[in-house]
Amino acid sequence: MTDVTVSSALRLHPRVSIRPEPFGALLYHFGTRQLSFLKSPRLLAVVEAVGDAESVGDALATAGVRDEEFPIYLRALGTLRESEMLVERAA
């Protein structure tokens, strides 16, 4: 598994669609047919910010994630990276 760190640069896979829901959001990957549930609105905010942010760290800060919560969110982003919902981009 590729570790996602605060200095990683990621974006949403072009074939992934996001649907906001009361609990957060549903992500659907039209290529892999995979469905993921983002279980918090804040994680959704991170995922939405990550493409335009300088780095993952910036996206976390923009979405208002507290420092001590960074590890949980980095792990979640790692899972999304692994399932190709998120892909690397040039920093």
HEC readout, 65-85: CCHHHHHHHHHHHHHHHHCCC
Q: Which residue has the tokens 């692994």?
A: 82
Options 32, 88, 89, 91; binder of another protein; rule CB under 8 A = 32
Q: How far is the CB of 8 from another protein (least distance, A)?
A: 16
Residue 85 structure tokens: 């919902």
Element (H, E) at 52: none
Judged by CB under 8 A, the residue of 3, 5, 7, 19 near another protein is 19
Contact between 37 and another protein by CB under 8 A: the answer reads yes
Task: Kindly state the tokens that stand for 24.
Answer: 């957060």
Choosing from 22, 67, 68, 90, the residue that interacts with another protein (CB under 8 A) is 22
Smaller CB separation from another protein, 11 or 42: 42
